[in-house]
């Protein structure tokens, strides 16, 4: 089995379910455990993501606040992997922003994938990627010059007990990132800058100035 991000051969395991990629530093689920589409969808239906729940809005607020402070309502965005409760695009729409939605399960119209955007948001999405190299190439290609790819996904570090970590226990988390994985993506997928905050908030930029983030 090869890493679906960097294509390196995977031989070192962190446990019986995940490989530990020595090249991009990602934790990659063994294909034997990757859920099929039906099992994945059943798991997503167990989530209770109410767009009007103030706790859910607070959880996603780092993304909405970033968009509100860096982009104007006239600029176009995409909520990629919006899920059944598209809270980010809902909140931004309430502020007059124009933001399209795409999700392979819940918002399946592929027309938004043919456009380009000033910002793309992915909240608790990138850890579900089965083919992260394809997904990041697509996301980068949809991003306009000066655009931001804004993501939330908890990063693994050595201080975490992987065996008991909630991310490890989710059967749909097929690809888990370290900070080094974020750096690998920045370098190899055409981004000019990448930043991690608070161990879970990630911004990739298509321009090189750190100030833009």
pLDDT tens sequence across 61-105: 999 999 999 999 999 999 999 988 899 999 999 999 989 999 999
Question: What is the CB-side half-sphere exposure of residue 137 using CA atoms within 13 A?
Answer: 7
Strand 27-29 relative to strand 18-20, pairing: antiparallel
Q: Would 10 be classed as within a structural domain?
A: no
User: Around Cβ 150, how many Cβ atoms within 10 Å?
Assistant: 25
What is the pLDDT, as a whole number, of residue 172?
97
Q: What is the model's pLDDT at position 56?
A: 87
- Measured from the Cβ of residue 176, the count of other Cβ atoms closer than 10 Å reads 24
Query: Which pLDDT score is estimated for 209?
Result: 52
182 falls within a domain:
yes
User: What pLDDT sits at residue 68?
Assistant: 97
Helix pair 87-94, 54-70: axis angle to 10 deg = 60
7 inside domain: no
| Residue 143 domain flag | yes
List the CATH number of the domain containing 114.
3.40.50.150
Asked if 98 and 76 touch (Cβ cutoff 8 Å), the reply is yes
pLDDT of 210:
52
Q: Note down the domain range covering 67.
A: 18-212
57 falls within a domain: yes
| Number of domains the chain contains | 1
Instruction: Tell me if 12 is assigned to some domain.
Output: no
Q: Which residue has the tokens 């991009």?
A: 24
Residue 4 resides in a domain: no
Give pLDDT tens digits along the chain (213 positions). 999 999 999 999 999 999 999 999 999 999 999 999 999 999 988 876 778 888 889 999 999 999 999 999 999 999 999 988 899 999 999 999 989 999 999 999 999 999 999 999 999 999 999 999 999 999 999 999 999 999 999 999 999 999 999 999 999 999 999 999 999 999 999 999 999 999 999 999 997 655 455
Q: Which helix (H) or strand (E) holds 57?
A: helix 54-70
Torsional sign, CA 161, 162, 163, 168: positive
pLDDT at 37: 94
What is 156-167 written as a DSSP string? P-TTS-GGG-HH
Tens-place pLDDT, residues 2-16: 999 999 999 999 999
This prediction's pTM = 0.94
Tell me the average pLDDT of the chain: 94
Give me the pLDDT at residue 54, please: 87
Could you tell me if residue 6 is inside a domain?
no
Do residues 99 and 92 make contact, with C-beta atoms less than 8 angstroms apart? yes
């Amino acid at each position: 089995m090869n890493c679906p991000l960097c294509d390196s051969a995977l031989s070192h395991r962190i446990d019986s379910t995940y490989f530990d990629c020595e090249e991009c530093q990602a934790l990659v689920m063994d294909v034997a455990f990757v859920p099929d589409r039906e099992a994945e969808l059943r798991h997503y239906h167990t989530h209770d993501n109410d767009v009007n729940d103030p706790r859910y809005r607070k959880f996603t607020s780092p993304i909405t606040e970033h968009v509100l402070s860096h982009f104007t309502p006239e600029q176009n965005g995409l909520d990629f992997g919006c899920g059944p409760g598209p809270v980010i695009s809902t909140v931004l729409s309430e502020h007059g922003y124009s933001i399209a939605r795409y999700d392979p399960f819940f918002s399946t119209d592929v027309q938004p994938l043919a456009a380009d955007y000033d910002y793309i948001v992915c909240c608790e999405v990138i850890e579900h990627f089965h083919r992260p190299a394809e997904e990041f190439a697509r996301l980068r290609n949809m991003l306009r010059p000066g655009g931001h790819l804004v993501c939330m996904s908890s990063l693994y570090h050595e201080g975490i007990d992987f065996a008991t970590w909630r991310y490890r226990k989710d059967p749909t988390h097929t690809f888990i990132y370290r900070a080094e994985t974020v750096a690998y993506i920045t370098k190899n997928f055409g981004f000019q800058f990448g930043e991690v905050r608070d161990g879970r908030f990630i911004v990739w930029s298509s321009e090189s100035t750190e100030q833009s983030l």
